[in-house]
Homo-oligomer: A and B are copies of this chain.
């Protein structure tokens, strides 16, 4: 941590800070410039409420030097992680497609979709049983019944399964039925849920919050890993900006940035990011081209009558064409697919 003093900071102000730092068992390292003095803090910073130093006299700015996340940090774990999900793995050697409906609606619907996405190359079936919806009057999901359908679909197709969880109760239920749980964007900083997910034993897909910085996202992952669960996969799903032609703005630069900062796998969800089915295919290819380990795609047997997110769902035919077109991109990226 670096403390930048104001120009003409009083000698007494510098001394006060030095004493505060040393009183916390750390070392202060002064660097006197022509315009300003900077103070480097050396030692175990967790012993110091560092942000408070900003309220000391003549302090201009505090500059953190090291990241607060450690277990998610590539600096301390340079090799890319591989996460086992049921019978499949997410990691650097293959391209994983998670596909399925936004919401599980009926067993027949789910089964038909499961067969279709498997045929097209998906290895993980997604399906929402607990739906966080903006309005309390929108369809909120089938809950445990939906999870049972997911289990049935798994039995019949052999696909691994993933479901979003929104509460400790949902996690307890999910553990019985599915292979991976998902923490949605609106819960990315629901720290209680993150800890519980960490204790669940299941691999966790952690979606980026609507306006989460990459640093906050990795700290959220740290919450899960710190509970003893290293099986975290990150999912970029668009961030909130002023642009309105897409529901969110897909931040694909997050993929190479994450590849530099963390060893965790990264997948991309172009369906939720854009909210428009026509944009899903070009952005899916782009995600693979810039290094994503996988994709999450919404597929529905009848988008026009879907109970949730119909506009962004692909039909079976469009999804099959997409995975066909993705095949050479996976090969260029050095990844096994289909």
**A68 pairs with B134, CB closer than 8 A:** yes
**B226 pairs with A136, CB closer than 8 A:** yes
**A33 pairs with B40, CB closer than 8 A:** yes
Residue of B nearest to A132 (CB): B191
List, in ascending order, chain B residues with CB within 8 A of A245's CB: 213-215, 253, 257, 261
Residues facing B in A263-297 (CB within 8 A) are 273-274, 276-279, 282-283, 285-291
Known: A31-B31, A241-B249. A136 touches B223 (CB 8 A): yes
Residues facing B in A145-198 (CB within 8 A) are 166-168, 186-187, 189-193
List, in ascending order, chain B residues with CB within 8 A of A308's CB: 49
A63: contacting residue among B63, B251, B285, CB under 8 A: B63
A50-58, A79-87, A88-96, A114-122 - interface stretch: A50-58
Known: A213-B243, A252-B250, A305-B52. A190 touches B190 (CB 8 A): yes
**A135 pairs with B252, CB closer than 8 A:** no
List, in ascending order, chain B residues with CB within 8 A of A186's CB: 189-191
**A257 pairs with B242, CB closer than 8 A:** no
Report Cα–Cα, A61/B164, bound state, in Å. Answer: 29
- For the complex formed, measure the closest distance between the CB of A298 and the CB atoms of chain B, giving whole angstroms: 12
List, in ascending order, chain B residues with CB within 8 A of A214's CB: 243, 245
Q: Which residues of A line the B interface, CB within 8 A?
A: 2, 4, 6-7, 20, 29, 31-36, 38, 40-44, 46, 49, 51-56, 63, 65-66, 68-69, 75, 132-138, 166-168, 186-187, 189-193, 209-211, 213-216, 219, 222-223, 226, 239-246, 249-257, 260-261, 273-274, 276-279, 282-283, 285-291, 303-311, 313, 328-329, 332
Closest 9 CB pairs of A and B: A211-B211, A52-B310, A286-B286, A186-B189, A282-B290, A286-B290, A289-B289, A285-B289, A68-B135
